[in-house]
Amino acid sequence: MLRETDFKELKLFKKGKVRDVYDLGDRLLLIATDRISCFDAVLPTPIPDKGVILTKISLFWFSFLKDITENHLISTDLSDLPLELESSKDDLRGRFMITKKCEVVPFECVVRGYITGSGWKEYRASNSICDIALPEGLIVPVLKDADQKGLLQIAEESRVLVRKAREGNLSVDEVTGGTFTITNLSMFPVDGFTPILRPPESGILGLCRVREKPAVYNGEIAIRSMMTVSLTWDHRVVDGAPASEFLQTLCRFLEEPTLIMT
């Protein structure tokens, strides 16, 4: 196991929770140790060969995406290590990368399935984690018995639910019990996405932006308003054929809204 490094012959650039980084002049030496971290704490007991596995994962993605985007990797060859580390090659085998020095772009996107422990306690008290303010989460109101209501009633109840959601006044009953979700990204330049199903719901429909595109209409090329819709459904509840029929019917209604009134 390799819990930490201390190569005094090299200039230490940074010591992270898992990786030790040394300055090689115009390059960096990244060494993945076997330390294990939990949030901002480093646990006392390392995991054997964790650093080797982390390095293999990184190398896989660098290789897989190399034809799509450049990366900072230069070498993982033991022969390219500095001469000062000749006696440590066996310890570093499979757990280091020599990389380019790159300019850091201070941007981070974190997606969490849930918050627990001290993070959840702080979030409930101050809407922040580690003193970093977080935006309000997505609230999905549930409109009950929609199949038994007309368009005007659905529109009015939807307005009430949206207002209560913005004010933070939704009851538990108004956010539970849903069976089908409609999610909308039309306000963003998104032409297609895959909405993720929320169990135990049976389906979710994703709506994208409307764009003007050339299309065949009445035997001629014309500029038409086009939109992509994406449907994700639970195959244990709905088979592919009825799901496709649903999309066909939906598209027909979108193309001819007057059909909804008949």
Domain ranges within the chain, ordered by starting residue? 11-100, 110-136, 179-261
Please answer whether residues 205 and 180 qualify as being in contact, where contact means their C-beta atoms are separated by less than 8 angstroms: yes
How high is the pLDDT of residue 248? Answer: 92
Model confidence at 187, pLDDT cuts 50, 70, 90, reads: confident
pLDDT in tens, 218-250: 899 999 999 999 999 999 999 999 999 999 999
The CATH number of the structural domain formed by 179-261 is 3.30.559.10
How big is the CA angle at 86 (ends 81 and 91), to the nearest 5 degrees?
85
In this prediction, residue 227 carries a pLDDT of 92
Residue 13 is encoded by which pair of tokens?
């650039």
Return contacts of 154-160, CB within 8 angstroms, 24+ apart.
Answer: none
Judge whether residue 113 has pLDDT over 80: no
**Looking at domain 11-100, what is its CATH homologous superfamily?**
Phosphorylase Kinase; domain 1 (3.30.200.20)
Structure tokens at 214: 């050339």
For range 114-126, the mean pLDDT: 69
* Residue 112 amino acid letter: R
72 catalytically annotated:
no
Q: What is the pLDDT of residues 76-96, one digit of tens each?
A: 999 999 999 999 999 999 999
pLDDT, residue 55, reads: 97
Per-residue pLDDT band at 104 (split at 50, 70, 90): confident
pLDDT at 95: 96
- Average model confidence (pLDDT) for the chain? 88
Identified catalytic residue from 67, 77, 147, 235: 235
pLDDT at position 109 is 67
Whether 104 contacts 126, CB under 8 Å: no
Q: Output the pLDDT for position 108.
A: 67
In what helix (H) or strand (E) does residue 155 lie, and over which residues does it extend? helix 151-167
Annotated active-site residue 23? The verdict is no
More confident residue, 109 or 254: 254
Q: 169 pLDDT band (50/70/90 cuts)?
A: confident
pLDDT value for 137: 64
Least confident of 8-17, 53-62, 162-171: 162-171
Q: Are 206 and 168 in contact (CB under 8 A)?
A: no
Instruction: Please tell me the predicted confidence (pLDDT) of residue 40.
Output: 72
Residue, of 139 and 198, whose pLDDT is higher: 198
How confident is the model over 7-48, as pLDDT tens digits?
999 999 999 999 999 999 999 999 999 999 887 788 989 999
Same topology, domains 11-100 and 179-261? Answer is no
Out of 80, 91, 191, 239, which one is annotated catalytic?
239
pLDDT at residue 185 tops 70: yes
Pairing assessment for the beta strands 128-129 and 132-133 based on DSSP bridges: antiparallel
Give the model's confidence band at 135: pLDDT under 50 very low, under 70 low, under 90 confident, else very high: low
Q: What percent of the chain has pLDDT over 90?
A: 58
pLDDT for res 130: 63
State the residue for tokens 């538990």: 172
**Predicted pLDDT of residue 115:** 65
Supply the pLDDT for residue 114.
61
Judge whether residue 112 has pLDDT over 80: no
